[in-house]
Amino acid sequence: MKLKKEYTATLGLLLITVWSAVQYIFLQNVPDSVSTFSFLFVTYLVGFLILAALQFKKLRKINKKVLLKGMLLSGEVIGFNFFLVIGSKGVDSVIVSSLVSMYFVFVTPLLLLLKKKVSFRSAVASAVAIIALILMLNADISLFFKSVNAIFLIIADIFFATYVISISIVGKKEDAAVLTLSQLIFSVLFSFCGWAVEVAIGKGSFSFPTDKMFWLTVLFFGVFIRALYGLIQVSCQKHVKPVNASLIFSSEIIITLITNPFLSKLMHKEYTPANIYQIIGC
């Protein structure tokens, strides 16, 4: 029974990894005129409304303890998405996915800091991940120092690594829908506050573009990345160890490399074909 649950959970994590890999091509539909927090707000709001409609009865089960856990997870995932959005602007989706997939490098050190058990295999996998990252950056490590986008995406990696570990710790005994709803409540609030600050300092406005591709992106993010992704991740990580889960998530670069040519043509976006370094690193 335990093996069956772990197998099913692994398939669930693979499914949301596919969604995660596809999101980078959709991000190219977000105009530069749309502020980061306004995009986060509208997508989190859509995600919350959809999940609340599907799990309406679970709203009454949200208590103080779950709210505190939701606030913690929300802070981590808001940090991840904020740096992901600003770091991916003007960057090819394969490069974005390459950098974001390497968050696994930070999982082992964070587990050690938390005095959690880490296997030798995890250390080896981290070393392999670092080599793969260098290859996927065309063996040019200077990119880390000369590209502010790369720095932003690495910061996003750290946030997501802490998020993956936190879910395994705080979500183990909680109902997945209740915890995800709690997280979305705070994500909506935090992102709205951030949006208000952007408007106050002249970096945004309380408006959205009418472009249909933008709203298609909002709908995709709201349904698959905000609502269903969180629900499935919390449910599945109860049965999969953090290191194994992070290994599954790091495979998104492979999916991005495969789907990028097709999706780019479908959405009339330019893309840079993968080179030999990226293919070997992948």
Contact 105, 133 (CB under 8 A): yes
Residue 167: strand, helix, or coil: helix
Q: Could you give the count of Cα atoms lying within 13 Å of 222 in the half-sphere of its Cβ?
A: 20
Of the listed ranges 8-12, 34-38, 115-119, 201-205, the one predicted with least confidence: 115-119
Q: Answer yes or no: is pLDDT of 140 > 60.
A: no
Classify residue 139 by its DSSP letter. T
Distance CA 143, CA 260 (A): 22
Give the pLDDT band (50/70/90) at residue 146: low
pLDDT > 70: percent of the chain: 94
Q: Answer yes or no: is pLDDT of 273 > 80.
A: no
Distance CA 80, CA 37 (A): 12
User: What pLDDT sits at residue 137?
Assistant: 65
Q: Answer yes or no: is pLDDT of 260 > 90.
A: no
What's the start-to-end Cα distance of the chain, in Å?
33
pLDDT > 90: percent of the chain: 52
Contact 129, 102 (CB under 8 A): yes
Distance CA 16, CA 224 (A): 8
Of the listed ranges 93-102, 200-209, 254-263, the one predicted with least confidence: 93-102
User: What pLDDT sits at residue 262?
Assistant: 83
Quick: pLDDT tens for 200-227: 999 889 999 999 999 999 999 999 999 9
Q: Answer yes or no: is pLDDT of 237 > 80.
A: yes
Of the listed ranges 11-15, 47-51, 118-122, 253-257, the one predicted with least confidence: 118-122
Q: Answer yes or no: is pLDDT of 139 > 60.
A: no
Residue closest to 99 by CA, chosen among 18, 27, 154, 25: 154
Q: What is the pLDDT of the chain when averaged over all its residues?
A: 87
Q: Answer yes or no: is pLDDT of 138 > 70.
A: no
Residue closest to 51 by CA, chosen among 235, 226, 220: 226
Quick: pLDDT tens for 169-194: 898 889 999 999 999 999 999 999 99
Sequence-ordered list of residues with C-beta below 8 angstroms from that of 223, at least 6 positions apart, any chain: 46, 47, 50
Quick: pLDDT tens for 55-87: 999 999 999 999 999 999 999 999 999 999 999
Among 132-146, 210-224, 236-250, 252-266, the range of highest mean pLDDT: 210-224
Q: Answer yes or no: is pLDDT of 145 > 70.
A: no
